[in-house]
Amino acid sequence: MNWYTDLYLGRAAREKKDKLIQKIESGKTPVNTYLVTLAPGEFNQLEIIPAWNLKFARDQAALPLIIGLGCGRVETYELVRRITEDVYRETNSADVKAYFAQRI
């Protein structure tokens, strides 16, 4: 899996980051855990993927860059807001994909 080096973490996810990543990498699906990735296609910026959905991914190595990890929907939505605000603050634009393309 392709993890962003400065991974955005929710409050609860921060406390158990290493354990969550280890479970996800090993194919287990932590309950109530969500990944924030760059969305495929040209029209969307970000995508929220429940960790349990990874069971059905044919090629996990082909997943887009994972830039955030949250526990629970509310925490994950907060991450998306934080990511968007950070990108806007840095670039005066909400083009999240372009921002992360430059950073990797």
| Amino acid (one-letter) located at 15 | E
What's the CA gap between 87 and 64, in Å, rounded? Answer: 18
Query: Residue 27 is encoded by which pair of tokens?
Result: 């194919």
Strand order in the sheet with 46-50: 3-9, 66-71, 33-38, 46-50
pLDDT digits (tens, 9 = 90+) for 57-86: 665 666 788 999 999 999 999 999 999 999
SS3 7: strand
Kindly report, residue by residue over 23-37, the tens digit of the pLDDT: 998 888 898 999 999
| Arithmetic mean of pLDDT, 40-53 | 90
* Residue 10: predicted pLDDT: 96
- Residue 42 is predicted with a pLDDT of 84
What pLDDT was estimated at residue 62? 67
Tens of pLDDT, residue by residue over 80-100, are 999 999 999 999 999 999 999
Do 7 and 24 form a contact (C-beta atoms < 8 A)?
no
Q: Structure pTM?
A: 0.89
